Structure 1
Amino acid sequence: MLSLQHSSLEVIENHTNRTTIMKFTSLVSIVSLAAVASAWHLQLYDGELYQGLIHDRSGTLSQPCADLDASADNKASSMHWEAGTFAGEIILFEKHGCVAEVGRSDGDWSLAQFSSFANNKVSSYKIN
């Protein structure tokens, strides 16, 4: 009788472990999917109408000030911005260090041609 009770306890324990593992795996999958679904994406182009990709970056969290490197600095003429769920606002700046704002959006933003005020004047950006 004792061995039967011991076997029953092992079956219950194994079932509990499998259930816990399945719940954990499901949670990891949901968190991973949420991260992908909330990703932001920025593309800057040196030509109008999205020609000549010079900067392509994506992420899932807000981004403190990011300076463009020399190959993209003050060269953007068009852009695509896909806002994420958790980091949806982008702010463009004329100078490195996120100084002198030239534009912002708190949602998706595609510009086939920058205005004369912002054309070839983006040196840094910040994502909130």
Structure 2
Amino acid sequence: MADKEGLYKELERGKVLAIEIEADSRNALLARATTVLSRIMVQPDNVKAAARQEIEIVDDTDVEMMHDMLGAALNVFRSGFLWRDAELEERGGPIVVWLSGEQYDPDRHSLLTEIKGVQEHQLVVENKDGKWRTRITFDI
């Protein structure tokens, strides 16, 4: 089942949530995965892009990059910052992810799914036939 925006496809939901995401480039895939994480946890309609949070990641492999980026974004969420969009910038080594959103307001924001963590051992990031794909499994 795909989400209503077409950002990802849900493969499994139970004790875990497994999704698949596709994009035209590695950076677009990383940015989309970070946006999708937010869409799974929070209804985006009332989240305003009033502020930005920065996440900087340096890793050796695409799988490590995806895992650490989503883990860092999850920590930002736990600190009370919700985002509706993510942009990516490469800085000659580190990747910077800019999260556009605002602080959580229980009167305005609807929480959807609690994500406890990202499973690295089942994470897949690949480039096949000119498309970048990832399969991510979240502990819920």
Instruction: Compute the TM-score of the two structures, normalised by the length of structure 1.
Output: 0.30
Q: Which structure has greater helix proportion?
A: 1
Greater RCO, CA 8 A, separation 6+: 2
